[in-house]
Each structure stands twice: as C-alpha cells, then as structure tokens.
Amino acid sequence: MTTPDSDAFGSRFPHRDLLGIAGLSPQEIVFLLDLAEGYVEVSRRAEKKQELLRGRTIINLFFESSTRTRTSFELAAKRLGADVINMSVAWSSIKKGETLIDTAMTLNAMHPDVLIVRHPDSGGVKLLSEKVNCAVINAGDGSHEHPTQALLDALTIRRRRGSIAGLEVAVCGDISHSRVARSNIHLLNTLGARVRVIAPPTLMPSAIDRLGVTPYFDLCAGLKDCDIVMMLRLQNERMQGSYVPSIREYFHFFGLDREKLKNAKPDALVMHPGPMNRGVEIDSELADDIDRSLIREQVEMGVAVRMACLDALTRGLQSNA
Ligand code: NCD
C-alpha cells in the first residue's frame, strides 16, 4: 500500500489523540483521507488482514449505544492485525467524574495502545484522555464532536465529487444536539466547502453563525442549488422536553423526500450518518435510492477511515510503558 506524504509534517500525524476536527489543519485532514483511500482498496480484497498493528492492544470503550461506529472500529483494528477488546458500559452504570477517571486509569494500567471512547457528555473523552498515556480516539462525545464520522463523510463526498472545495453542503435537522453536524461543519469549512444548516428554530443553536455557516429555517429555501444534503436524526436521547410539535409535522416541514430534493442541484447527493428514522427525517424510498443516496457508501468508508486513524495515531507511538 502506498503511504501519502504531507509537506507540512512528513508521514507522521502530529497528534497523540483524535478528539475532534476543530484544530486539525487542512493538510492533516487530507493526510487522513489519502491514507484512508488505500484502506478502501484493502477492505475490498478477499484477504484483508494486515500486519501493521500486530501486537497492539485496542480497547473500544462505549458508554453509549452504537452499531456502526463500534463495529467499524472493531473491524478496522482487526483488519490491521491488532488485538481488540470491546467494553460496553450500560447507561445505568455511568457515574460521572470519578468513575470515568477511575475507569480510564484502570484501563491505562493494562497498557492499551489506543482507547476508542464514546461518552454521553461533551468533553468526557477529552477528560479521559488527560488521565491516560495511550492514544485516544473520540467516537462521539455528547453533542460536541464525532471526528471519524466527519472524515468518513468527507471521504465519501471526495470519492464522488473529486474535491470538497467549492461544494454547497446543506446539513439538515437536529443541529442543536448533533455532534455529527459540529464535526462536519469544522471539516467542510476547513476544506473550503460552503455550509448551510437547516432546522426548526427550536433545534438551531443560537450562536450557530459563529461556526461560519448560513442558517435556514425553511428546508426548501435552504436546499436551493446545493450539491450535498446531509440529513440528521432527531437526537431524542439528548432532549429534555419536546422540541417538535409532532413527528408528522416534522416530516412535513423538515423531512427530505423527492419533491423537496428538487430544490437542490439535479445531481445532488443525499447522506445520513445512521441510524436513520425512515419517514421522520428522510423518506424511506429516497434513502434506498442508490442513484441519489450515499448512505451505504458512508458505512463502507467508515471502516477505511478508522483504519487510517488507527494507522496514523499508532505511527507515533513507542511502547506504552
Ligand atoms: C451518529 C452519532 O452517534 O452521533 N451515529 C453514528 O455514529 N453513526 C448520529 C446519530 O446517532 O444520530
């Protein structure tokens, strides 16, 4: 496999952890995307096993439920030859503060090389990373960041459109509670796309324009002439109280269907990080339309991107003594 190089920092990724997209340079993002390209090819072979992470130990520590993120990190680590342990911590057993730190220190004492952590609190993964001396990857912290999701979305777009720069991207739905939205906004802005966010006023953060995006409160107006439409799930688990009058009304005004998609460019592509609620944020038939929907491709790119992140972060590691 060829290894991409970057003039800015050689072939070494200059960070111990991947906690977010905010703060990464365009070169660092492109380095990870280029590295992931090679792993798309590896993942399509019959023989996928690599030796790169042989002897390394990776722990998946999920304090929140997950299907695709946890599975694809596990697959990515195994394809690179690492030993992987999965720890799922039920919601009910989460105690904040000391318990999180204790867990981190306990796991750290077992000398893992990488901890992959999902936590319901924004900032929870960073806090944990400060207590360990291995690499830490944020697999989603509250409504803050989900860096590997943004990277896999960018890889999916780049493979279809050749480049991110200059694209008009609409991110639609529950912007307030979405870490996927935040990471994507940082990444797309860093690589030169123009981003609009579309949501009902109750699901739009008040200071959203500080993130360098244009807010819209009307789906059809926001979709006008855009290249990429990213739909988001209503993150009910992070809501206290009711933010939308009813699911039916939400779909009527903010759910994406073929009719509303006509406002976008004729070849606009549709994305969703999953899990999706068919008939709530997206019409079921549109979600399955392989000419317009990139949803399955996003899942495939997820494994390649996570292989690239594990590769990049472990290049700089010596032993975790
Ligand atoms: C997202 C997440 O967990 O933030 N899902 C994912 O990782 N594929 C989005 C969501 O849960 O809606």
| Cα 158 to Cα 256: distance, rounded to the nearest angstrom | 23
Amino acid at 98: E
Strands (DSSP E) contained in the chain are: 57-62, 83-88, 114-119, 135-141, 168-172, 194-198, 214-216, 228-231, 269-271
Would you list the DSSP string of 221-256? HHHTT-SEEEE----GGG-SS-SSS-HHHHHHHH-B
Q: 273 CB less than 6 Å from ligand 1? A: yes
179, 180, 271, 278, best to mutate for ligand 1 pocket (most atoms within 8 Å of CB):
180
Find out whether 188 and 154 touch, Cβ atoms under 8 Å. Answer: yes
Residue 174: CB atoms within 10 Å: 27
Cα(196)–Cα(257) distance, rounded to whole angstroms? 18
Does the C-beta of 103 come closer than 6 Å to ligand 1? no
Tell me if 131 CB under 6 Å of ligand 1: no
**HSE-up of 292 (CA within 13 Å, CB side)?**
22
Question: Can you give the pLDDT at residue 4?
Answer: 55
pLDDT at residue 104 in the model: 87
Does residue 69's CB lie within 6 angstroms of at least one atom of ligand 1?
A: yes
Q: What's the CA gap between 230 and 171, in Å, rounded?
A: 5
What is the structure's pLDDT at 40? 98
Q: Given the CA of residue 149, which atom of ligand 1 is nearest to it? A: 7
CB contact set of 16 (below 8 Å; sequence gap of 6+):
135, 136, 313, 316
* Per-run averaged pLDDT (10 residues), the chain, 321 residues: 54 92 96 97 97 96 91 98 87 57 89 96 95 97 97 98 98 97 98 98 94 98 98 87 86 96 98 96 97 98 98 74 41
Ligand 1 closest atom vs CA 69: 7
Ligand 1 contact, 238 CB (< 6 A)? no
CB 148 within 8 A of CB 179: no
* Residue from 60, 62, 66, 179 to probe ligand 1 pocket by mutation (most atoms less than 8 Å from CB): 66
Q: How far is CA 232 from CA 40, 94, 131, 171, 203, in A?
A: 25, 26, 33, 7, 11
Pick from 144, 146, 152 the residue to mutate for probing ligand 1's pocket: most ligand atoms within 8 Å of its CB: 146
